[in-house]
Amino acid sequence: MIQLTTTGARTGRKHRVTLGALHIDGRLVVVASAMGLPKHPAWYHNIRKNPLVTVETDTETFEAMAAIAPDRDALFAKVVEQQPGFGDYQARTTRVLPVLVLHRLDRVRRMGDWIVEVHDWLRTELRDLRAQLDSGEPLSFGKRCLGFCSALTRHHTGEDTAIFPMLAAQFPALAPALTKLGEEHVVVAQLQEQIQRLVDEESDPARLHAEFDRLASLLDSHFTYEESVIVTALNALAPAPG
């Protein structure tokens, strides 16, 4: 048994509930069964709004992110193997009992930390590019800018095609913010194309400076907002690459 503390979806107040939890394949798993009642329990609605929770066991207390299991059916089958009573609860109701994984956050260097490292590298490149632009060496700036834009595009493509869909599926509360981040990626790509055209034309230095400053400002706010949205969730799900 564990004590799970969630944040109320409507009230914002803390709510503590006692749940049965299972250790399955190295994951801490809970089921929103409500003993087979027709409606999902309140704590499940709370974590769909705010997935950050506190878990208390007999021996420790830790912060976690409550994620909707991407492999729900296979995981529920293992739940029933350990605790057949959950199968009885499922048989009592027409709703599909949600299965959630509680990912603890007290771990060193995770995927979210790696994202911050990537952003910090991109921030440094932006500062160096601005200095190079000010130096009046358009050819050198153009080559480095092309490399930067290529790296930035790969980064955003990876987020749009893999990271954001994964987070939206497991943490529905993040979906609106992830959509906003994806829309910002489109604006960034358009600015990159405009800057590259200005570099190729070499005809309007003042406009090139203005568009580059616009890109730098947008990316600075974009990175900061993105980190506030996804770092904790990514740290809960996966270790840093390599």
pTM value? 0.84
User: Could you read off the pLDDT of 163-205 as tens digits, one per residue?
Assistant: 999 999 999 999 999 999 999 999 999 999 999 898 888 778 8
Residue 5 has φ and ψ, to the nearest 5°, of -105, 120
pLDDT along the chain (242 residues), means of 10: 95 95 96 97 96 95 95 97 97 97 87 96 93 77 87 96 96 97 98 90 86 95 98 93 78
Pairing mode, strands 61-68 and 22-24: unpaired
- How confident is the model at residue 139, as a pLDDT? 64
| Spatial contact of 149 and 208, defined as CB atoms under 8 Å apart | no
Question: Tell me, what DSSP letter sits at residue 63?
Answer: E
User: Could you read off the pLDDT of 32-44 as tens digits, one per residue?
Assistant: 999 999 999 999 9
Residue 128 has φ and ψ, to the nearest 5°, of -65, -40
Residue 46 has φ and ψ, to the nearest 5°, of -65, -45
- How confident is the model at residue 106, as a pLDDT? 81
